[in-house]
Amino acid sequence: MKHLVIGASGQVGHALMKALDEAGHSVIGTYFSHSEPGLVHLDMTRRDAVENIFAKEAPEAVWIPGAMPDVDRCEREPAFSHQVNVEAPQLVMAAARPASIPLVYFSTDYVFDGVDGPYLESAPVHPLQVYGQHKVEAETALLAYPQTLVVRPAWIYSDEPNPRNFVYRVLSDLKEGRPIKSAVDQINTPTPAGALVRNALQALIEGHRGVLHLAGPERLTRLALVERIARMAGFSTDSIQSISVGDLPLPAKRPLKGGLISSYARYGISERLEDLNLTPLLTTS
């Protein structure tokens, strides 16, 4: 099967390229601003560029991990967020529709307000910020296409030595001796990128369509998560300070009692934080 991954230069995109290759699929990946060998440039906000890549590559499945996932930037620049997070995925859907090409769109747990999580797929959405509102708008538009699979992960992490990966950022701070402020009142279900994309691929191939929650098996506060990363890597937790989300001057509101669970046990992720190989992160962070 030939896959097109739009946003292959991101954290989920990298994991997807690896998983698809390991599963023996043919794959074309795109970047937007971070050029990488083997990836082709695509600005998915441009209709002509999207149409050209479909015409040239004739993909049989399309993935959209591409997004503007910076929650605070979306709050400050809602028109930009709308263009990338809502309008662009619809351009991709329009290009996929004539040949009924399956489409996987990555959404978020931020579609929920975090009042009484964890949330099942059937829970009503109620986003607190522009990013979540735009993800809901995109989900709604894309789900009108029967070949769409909407995957919702939460707090994605990986073994990738890249500042986009929060485990890498935490380890960099610990190594450099920088103090870390971590919220004790924000709880979520951290999601390993590798298992996320492998299970999403299985769901796609088995014909699962509609909304699917794919998150890790544990529900942790941000503070507990950061402390656990420190202990796993052999660092003291002394430099980690417990704070409340409200203490941080952030433009966008965060869901507090969040997290995702799923009605579809067959796609459940069993991998825990302790299963993460820290070596690539410790040698480079």
Contact positions toward ligand NAP, by CB under 6 A?
6-7, 9-13, 31-34, 42-45, 65-67, 69, 84, 88, 106, 108, 153-156, 164
Residue of closest CB approach to ligand NAP? 10
Residues with Cβ within 8 Å of 108's Cβ and at least 6 positions away in sequence, in order, are: 69, 131, 132, 135, 152, 153, 154
Q: Cβ closer to ligand NAP: 101 or 215?
A: 215
- Quick one: tokens of 108? 């978020």
Nearest distance, CB of residue 218 and ligand NAP, angstroms:
15
Please measure the distance between the N-terminal and C-terminal CA atoms of the chain and give it in whole angstroms: 36
Nearest distance, CB of residue 150 and ligand NAP, angstroms:
10
Q: Cβ closer to ligand NAP: 71 or 180?
A: 71
Q: Cβ closer to ligand NAP: 214 or 230?
A: 214
Q: Cβ closer to ligand NAP: 11 or 186?
A: 11
Q: Cβ closer to ligand NAP: 168 or 177?
A: 168
Nearest to 108 by CA among 87, 89, 132: 132
- Round the CA-based radius of gyration of the chain to a whole number and report it: 18
Q: Cβ closer to ligand NAP: 9 or 236?
A: 9
Nearest distance, CB of residue 202 and ligand NAP, angstroms:
18
Nearest distance, CB of residue 122 and ligand NAP, angstroms:
19
Strand duo 220-221 + 187-188: pairing: antiparallel
Nearest distance, CB of residue 102 and ligand NAP, angstroms:
17
Q: How far apart are CA 196 and CA 255, in angstroms?
A: 21
Q: How far apart are CA 183 and CA 221, in angstroms?
A: 7
Nearest to 253 by CA among 130, 81, 125, 107: 130
The DSSP H or E segment spanning 26 is strand 26-31
DSSP state of 23: T
Nearest distance, CB of residue 227 and ligand NAP, angstroms:
19
Q: How far apart are CA 63 and CA 8, in angstroms?
A: 9
Q: Cβ closer to ligand NAP: 151 or 230?
A: 151
Nearest distance, CB of residue 115 and ligand NAP, angstroms:
18
Nearest to 158 by CA among 7, 283, 30, 275: 275
Q: Does residue 103 contact residue 147 with C-beta atoms inside 8 Å?
A: yes
